Amino acid sequence: VTLHLNPISSVHIHQKPLVFLLNSPLPLVWKLKTERLAPGIRRVFFVSLGSVVRFEKGNFSLSAETEEKFFPEKNEHLLQWAQKEYGAVTSFTELKISRNIYIKVGE
């Protein structure tokens, strides 16, 4: 699955830390494609067991962290866990089948 990340239109370059929980019932290779995300900013990708994140060429991967995590099985439990763990969830998306996911990051 390719995860496309770029800032919302009102933000020229996104310069804040991000945390993503990438959960799948089956192990996946998450391919990351980014635009206009400032280098050197902490970005964390938690993936379900057996999954990996592949970064496109460039230095984005130098400031990104990837960690396998055991997530709650049901989406409502995952959302509750994320809210408890991080205090807030700004976006939650559930897809049954997808090759590309487009996410706008920003305020």
pLDDT number for residue 59: 65
Max alpha carbon distance in the chain (Å)?
37
Q: How many whole angstroms from its chain centre is CA 47? A: 9
Cα separation, 77 vs 25, in Å, equals: 14
Q: Which amino acid, one-letter code, is at 67?
A: E
Q: Residues 6 or more apart from 9 whose CB is under 8 A from it?
A: 104
* One pLDDT digit (tens) per residue for the chain, 107 residues: 999 999 999 999 999 999 999 999 999 999 999 989 998 899 999 999 999 999 887 667 778 899 999 999 899 999 999 999 888 898 888 998 999 999 999 86
H-helix or E-strand spanning residue 48: strand 43-48
Q: For the chain, how many structural domains are there in total?
A: 1
Owning domain of residue 64: 2-105
